[in-house]
Structure 1
Amino acid sequence: MPGIPKPPERMLSEEQNNSTTPWGMLQENSAGIKEEVQADPETPVGTNDHTEVTPEPSEPEMYSGPLEKAPLLELGNDLADARIFFSDAVDIAKYAISNGPEAPEEGQPVLLIFGGVCVPVYENSDPEKLEAAWARVMRGHCDQQIKVPDPYSEHPVIAETYPLVIKTLDDIPEKVLAAEAREDEARRNDEDDYDIQRADTIINRKEKYEGLKEKLWDVEIRLAGAAAAQLPPNIYGDRDNPIQAEPFTSEFEARGVMYSSYTFLLAKLMQDHLNNNETATVADIAEEALKILDIRVNTSDPLFNAVTGYLLPDSAWGWDHGQELLGWYNEVRERQSGYRSPLPPEAQ
């Protein structure tokens, strides 16, 4: 998880050298991610015979068994929407097994809903194997589905159907995995396949975040807010001795840290461009920086409001370009709502 302090309680309740990285590199390949298609180990090199195994589309069978009685980890909403990484969500689930008020019986899992997929998490679950199995189901390769009470409904008796992670990749023949990987790659070539795009975005989110963090490590930002008093100018500290964070134990804590983490990345992206282009303004680059972070410019989106709001003047972080950002934010709000403030910008 990011070694970033969580913002003050008020914000959560409200929802060495100075080298830089060329802006174009961040736009073109912000994390250096390229997913490889898994080759069929039994297909000779130099051949192109992929006809042996073809995943047949079918409706996954409905699960019936002990998992139906496993406690559901109720987190308020899907943690994937708050930019929390899958590995951190598993930490929260494991903490709940040991310390939660509705901890399961010994040897039983809790059910975690993440990215719209139901993941049984055991105390001894292997995080890497669990993540690989979850990623497969996220991309639509679902063997079974399960009905569980909707954790986000005011009427918990209403059951919601979710794709279920029921197998690790060790339980699936390599030929099948290779065929599924080819199918995924074909879907990526279809620009209208939103489902695979969404799945890849969520699955690759941690890798992309870490790639951006590494590229922007030495970019310094000036924060005037009281909450930033103890932070180093580059936020992350020394590369050889970075700020460390403990595993998350709650959704509330994880959400606050991730909102702050993306707030700092946004400020660093914009600051990096301002450092390299004397004529640039915050209004010129804010939308593109948010696009790199896969954050929608939408004033009804809590994440958008958080990462911009935390940088505004008089906020807990208070970026030194916050006044310019406020002007841009007000323009976005007026454009999207049709509301135009009668006050001058400095009084808004």
Structure 2
Amino acid sequence: MTGIPKPPEGMPSEGQNNAATRWDTLQENPAGIKEEVQEDPETPAEVTLEPSEPEMYHGPLEKAPLLALGDDLADARIFFSDAVDIAKYAISNGPEAPEEGQPVLLIFGGVCVPVYENSDPEKLEAAWARVMRGHCDQQIKVPDPYSEHPVMAETYPLVIKTLDDIPEKVLAAEAREDEARRNDEDDYDIQRADIIINRQEKYEGLKEKLWDVEIRLAGAAAAQLPPNIYGDRDNPIQAEPFTSEFEARGVMYSSYTFLLAKLMQDHLNNNETATVADIAGEALRILDIRVNTSDPLFNAVTGYLLPDSAWGWDHGQELLGWYNEVRERQSGYRSPLPPEAQ
């Protein structure tokens, strides 16, 4: 796990100077993410991919234990590398650890990923990313952990091969297909896959650009945080490796809360006429967070910044006014109290 701020216990109180960051540089592809596929120069001809239905897997993986009872860890904004670490920890320490040499099944981004104790994280992530983009060789039925009825089994694309097992010409053909799909604005699946696959790199890029932006937090939980949240660049605050989905979810929600506050604060610093209501929606869009009061992540990252909350951003009252407008617009709810009393 890289550079994710730890919950506030034990954090040093060391300030940093603010540095302005251009708002428009943070909106599109902040990490400079691009995908490159090296084609084998000795490959004699291009391959044309034919649509095919993935085979249904039948074998020992059907009996492997599910990590976090099958919860999709991508929904909690946990990075894939951290999810693999949690899975490996569960193999050795979990209450339902598999037999020696057997994996646990990680559900991530709607894909089933068998994680072994000796799995190579980088190779596993590359294989998972390929399946995320729709290049699936097999699928697997995973029983609902809350039901013994076979009808309740969920079918997932299955990561069954590493890229080492796939010919270069096939990988090159898949990359061409991916690029063609990206040019189709209506192809939601490839857009969603790219967002999840590139999430950690985008997060780290934004964090680096906003490192020196200071935010003022009045909440009790923020008492030991430095003004820039992350500490000194040469000695940044680091969280311990995650050991559970619950722990990782809490840290990641806080991490995105800080990033949201920094995005908004940076724009306020550079535009005297801007208001929180002007920029909140755009800041959330940059973070790929839906402005939707039924989304737990949206409610968490905004709620943590409101007055009297755990972190209590000093612009929290303005954010509360914007949040109430969103809630009224989406649910039809209207508070009987005047704005100053809400």
Contact 2:13–2:224 (CA under 8 A) maintained in structure 1 = no
CA displacement, residues 246-271 of structure 1 (integer Å, 9 cap, x when unaligned)? 11001110000000000000000000
Deviation at 1:345, TM superposition (A): 1.7
In 2 relative to 1, CA 152–20 (structure 1 residues): closer, same or farther, beyond 3 Å?
A: farther
In 2 relative to 1, CA 97–163 (structure 1 residues): closer, same or farther, beyond 3 Å?
A: same
In 2 relative to 1, CA 329–155 (structure 1 residues): closer, same or farther, beyond 3 Å?
A: farther
Distance 1:15 1:7 in 2: 18
Contact 1:2–1:261 (CA under 8 A) maintained in structure 2 = no
Contact 1:63–1:144 (CA under 8 A) maintained in structure 2 = yes
In 2 relative to 1, CA 189–227 (structure 1 residues): closer, same or farther, beyond 3 Å?
A: same
Contact 2:10–2:224 (CA under 8 A) maintained in structure 1 = no
Contact 2:144–2:154 (CA under 8 A) maintained in structure 1 = yes
In 2 relative to 1, CA 191–10 (structure 1 residues): closer, same or farther, beyond 3 Å?
A: farther
Distance 1:276 1:29 in 2: 21
Contact 2:8–2:222 (CA under 8 A) maintained in structure 1 = no
| Larger CA deviation: 147-156 vs 105-114 | 147-156
Deviation at 1:52, TM superposition (A): 2.7
Question: Where does residue 61 of structure 1 map in the other structure?
Answer: 55
**Percent of residue pairs bearing the same amino acid type:** 94
Contact 1:8–1:316 (CA under 8 A) maintained in structure 2 = no
Distance 1:223 1:165 in 2: 43
Q: Provide TM-score, normalisation by structure 1.
A: 0.92
Deviation at 1:97, TM superposition (A): 0.2
Contact 1:132–1:168 (CA under 8 A) maintained in structure 2 = yes
Q: Provide TM-score, normalisation by structure 2.
A: 0.94
In 2 relative to 1, CA 202–13 (structure 1 residues): closer, same or farther, beyond 3 Å?
A: farther
CA displacement, residues 95-115 of structure 1 (integer Å, 9 cap, x when unaligned)? 110001111111110111111
Contact 2:43–2:169 (CA under 8 A) maintained in structure 1 = no
Contact 2:39–2:172 (CA under 8 A) maintained in structure 1 = yes
Contact 2:305–2:316 (CA under 8 A) maintained in structure 1 = yes
In 2 relative to 1, CA 15–244 (structure 1 residues): closer, same or farther, beyond 3 Å?
A: closer
Contact 1:150–1:158 (CA under 8 A) maintained in structure 2 = yes
Deviation at 1:18, TM superposition (A): 1.5
| Larger CA deviation: 122-131 vs 10-19 | 10-19
Question: Where does residue 181 of structure 2 map in the other structure?
Answer: 187
Q: Unaligned 5+ residue runs, structure 2?
A: none
Deviation at 1:244, TM superposition (A): 1.1
Distance 1:52 1:313 in 2: 59
In 2 relative to 1, CA 13–74 (structure 1 residues): closer, same or farther, beyond 3 Å?
A: farther
In 2 relative to 1, CA 156–307 (structure 1 residues): closer, same or farther, beyond 3 Å?
A: farther
RMSD: 3.7
Distance 1:267 1:121 in 2: 35
In 2 relative to 1, CA 134–158 (structure 1 residues): closer, same or farther, beyond 3 Å?
A: same
SS in 1 for 2:340: helix
Contact 2:14–2:227 (CA under 8 A) maintained in structure 1 = no
Deviation at 1:202, TM superposition (A): 0.3
CA displacement, residues 240-298 of structure 1 (integer Å, 9 cap, x when unaligned)? 00001111001110000000000000000000000000000000000000000000000
Contact 2:21–2:210 (CA under 8 A) maintained in structure 1 = yes
Contact 1:33–1:208 (CA under 8 A) maintained in structure 2 = yes
Question: Where does residue 293 of structure 2 map in the other structure?
Answer: 299
How many residues are paired up?
342
In 2 relative to 1, CA 126–202 (structure 1 residues): closer, same or farther, beyond 3 Å?
A: same
CA displacement, residues 38-90 of structure 1 (integer Å, 9 cap, x when unaligned)? 4343369xxxxxx6311211001111111112112234621111111001111
| Larger CA deviation: 55-64 vs 70-79 | 70-79
Distance 1:70 1:79 in 2: 17
Contact 1:77–1:151 (CA under 8 A) maintained in structure 2 = no
Contact 1:41–1:174 (CA under 8 A) maintained in structure 2 = no
Contact 1:6–1:253 (CA under 8 A) maintained in structure 2 = no
